[in-house]
Amino acid sequence: MAISEEVRQRFAGEFEKFQKGIEGFFSKEIAPKDFKGIGGGFGSYAERGFESAMLRLRFFGSRILPYQMKFLVNAVKKYDLKQVHFTTGQCIQFHKLQGEQILELYKECFEHDIYNRGTGGDNLRNVTASPLHGVHPAEPFAVTPYLQAVSEYAVSLIGTLALPRKYKIGFSVVDNEGHANYKDLGFLAKENGKFDVYAGGGIGGGSAFGFLVDEDINPNEVLHHVEGMLHLYHELGDFKNRGKARSRFIAQRLGEEEFRKAYHEYLAKSKAAHDLTLSVEPYTVNKVGTTTPTTVLAEPQKQEGLYYIQYKPLVGTPPMDVFVKLFDYVGGLEETEIRICGDESVYIVNLTGEEADAVAAIIGDTHAKNQFEHTVSCVGATICQIGFQDSSGLVKVIKDTLEAEGLSTDKLPQLHVSGCPSSCGTHQVGKLGFHGFTKVVDKQPQPAFKVFVNGNGEVEGQRMSDELGVITVEDIPKFFVDLVNTLEAAGQDYDAWNAVHPEGLQSVLAKYL
């Protein structure tokens, strides 16, 4: 798990620029809007109020290895870190940081093969993946070596070619947690040991699913696809209008047939320029498990005797003491990994039965108990400077309101909540989604959320969500009380009820719009 020494030295040489940006921002000598252009490329953004900032950590293949877990545990204690968040981009964010904490943590991350460079700004962002690659019993083939190679290659390309906007890559295996069909470039593993390739997708402004641009490609050619798409993006992207700069706008402008043709032209140029064919070692786990877990959270891996556990804290923000205990324990085990998932959970893999029981005891009741508690939410406007509303806070208010009314959240679906129109809460692909907004009531602006329904991010049946209307923050808990009472009266969970009553949600929502 490494990048070349040449790339490491290049990144090290850029640190001074980051340091000056951090010091200038915290001394008030650099304006927040100017700091965004500096800090973003290093994974650091100012937070609301401009008295603190965050730092985003990237892990190759979204895999956190034991030595990195131990480092993170020590870093929490050493730098007195207060808040951690698992992101939909499969990174870890530490929030509410001061300048010295950020600079020291950045340097120490670098020494532990954690590269924050390029986790923000117009760069090759973190390469995402279905978290159970290499271990899921039903995966068509182990994509781990190819994912690893692309992750390292993507990092090495940062700063080598100007891009109009961010470039996101995803790998999907059994599920679609790598979001392959709505990334700038996505690889979907198939039963025949090949990949289908999607390109020109993404969510945010102008959300769109990618076009299927190639089928049944040999996995050892993935780097050529990454490079070809990079040059297509560079040469055909819009550098003048940021609102139309993502690769999906190239695809929409050209149309499917012409975009696919252009994609293959740039792929051919990459292959003609040099040989990026991979020769990889298979992903292997030598650990042997002989005990059976008692916890219901443990699921069997394809490696006999080993198990995995998913841990989903509410809105992706675990209590810091649980984070420390979990990472400290798992980091002391043989061949374990923690994989960050696109739904803001983590998967702990390669556990024996006994170890799985110990993990379950650590996470305890901080783990989601139903679909509602698996809700995806960005950190929200109390922290994010561009957020319109407090998304994470809203989820907690809904939960607390229902509990106070003696109502269960068991029949509710997983929500997708974003503080603003951006995609951090992935409301565009949620069954029931919200994004922060403002609603004028009696000529007065009120904090509110737009409501979205029937999104589906899976490859089969993919569709972007439909907007239903705008509801004030004050009315949202009341709406959920009505919705739960409706579901209870019907004796159905949300999915079953919505299938039979496609206009039902609109009816429940109507009096609040």
Same CATH fold, 372-512 and 136-269? yes
Identify the CA nearest to 67 among candidates 78, 75, 56: 75
- Residues 167 and 245: their CA atoms lie apart, in Å, by 11
Identify the CA nearest to 375 among candidates 349, 402, 405: 402
Question: What is the structure's pLDDT at 99?
Answer: 98
Q: How is residue 481 annotated by DSSP?
A: H
Question: What is the structure's pLDDT at 106?
Answer: 98
Question: What is the structure's pLDDT at 1?
Answer: 57
Enter the pTM of the model. 0.96
10 Å CB burial of residue 190 (0-12, 13-18, 19+) is middle
Q: What angle do CA 497, 500, 502 make, to 5 degrees?
A: 90
Question: What is the structure's pLDDT at 175?
Answer: 86
CA atoms within 13 A on the CB side of 107: 11
What residues of the chain score a pLDDT lower than 50? Answer: none
- Residues 308 and 345: their CA atoms lie apart, in Å, by 13
- Which CATH number fits the domain 136-269, given the four candidates 3.30.460.10, 3.30.413.10, 3.40.50.720, 3.90.1170.30? 3.30.413.10
- Which CATH number fits the domain 372-512, given the four candidates 3.30.413.10, 3.30.1780.10, 3.30.565.10, 3.40.50.10190? 3.30.413.10
Taking domain 298-366, whether its CATH number is 1.10.287 is answered by no
Question: What is the structure's pLDDT at 251?
Answer: 98
Place of tokens 């650590």: 362
The pair phi, psi for residue 489, each rounded to 5°, is -65, -35
Identify the CA nearest to 204 among candidates 391, 421, 420: 421
User: Domain residues of the chain, as ranges?
Assistant: 5-111, 136-269, 298-366, 372-512
CA atoms within 13 A on the CB side of 129: 29
